């Protein structure tokens, strides 16, 4: 069964460093998403991406964040100059139009 994969499963970084979280969506999916979940809190939407551009972003997704689909398979989330409050689980998801989303297993980001 096709699945969304994410790497790494756990990333530890120092405050101020840049991190790139990677996702491989399901191959025929066209819509891609990033979410985050701070420990003990609800899931929050970050950004959606379609046709090689951002289609929607939340107020959390500020200039510190960027997304890219550098090739035909990967979908990345870059966080520049990480802050302590960026520590969270980051989930990637993908979908086809009009269908439910398939979620990846998440990357736990710890900023020290």
Partner 1 sequence: KNEVEQSPQNLTAQEGEFITINCSYSVGISALHWLQQHPGGGIVSLFMLSSGKKKHGRLIATINIQEKHSSLHITASHPRDSAVYICAVISPPGNQFYFGTGTSLTVIP
Nearer to partner 1, 65 or 91 (CB): 91
Sign (positive or negative) of CA dihedral 81, 111, 41, 102: positive
Q: Which is nearer to partner 1, 42 or 71 (CB)?
A: 42
DSSP percent split of the chain into helix, strand, coil, nearest 5: 5, 50, 45
Contact segment (CB under 8 A) with partner 1 among 17-25, 60-68, 73-81, 99-107 equals: 99-107
45 binds partner 1 (CB under 8 A): yes
49 neighbors 69 (Cβ within 8 angstroms): yes
Q: How far apart are CA 23 and CA 39, in angstroms?
A: 21
Report the residue number, 59 or 81, with the smaller CB distance to partner 1. 59
**Which residues of this chain interact with partner 1, rule CB under 8 A?**
33, 35, 37, 41-45, 48, 55-56, 58, 89, 91, 93, 99-103, 105-106
């Amino acid at each position: 069964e096709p699945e969304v994969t994410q790497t790494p499963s756990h990333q530890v970084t120092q405050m101020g460093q840049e991190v790139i979280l990677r996702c491989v969506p399901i191959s025929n999916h066209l819509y891609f998403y990033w979410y985050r979940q701070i420990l003990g809190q609800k899931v929050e939407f970050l950004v959606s991406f379609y046709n090689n551009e951002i289609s929607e972003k939340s107020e959390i997704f500020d200039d510190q964040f960027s997304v890219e689909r550098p090739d035909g398979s990967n979908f990345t989330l870059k966080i520049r100059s990480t802050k302590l409050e960026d520590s969270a689980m980051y989930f990637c998801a993908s979908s086809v139009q009009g269908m439910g989303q398939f979620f990846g297993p998440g990357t736990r980001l710890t900023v020290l």
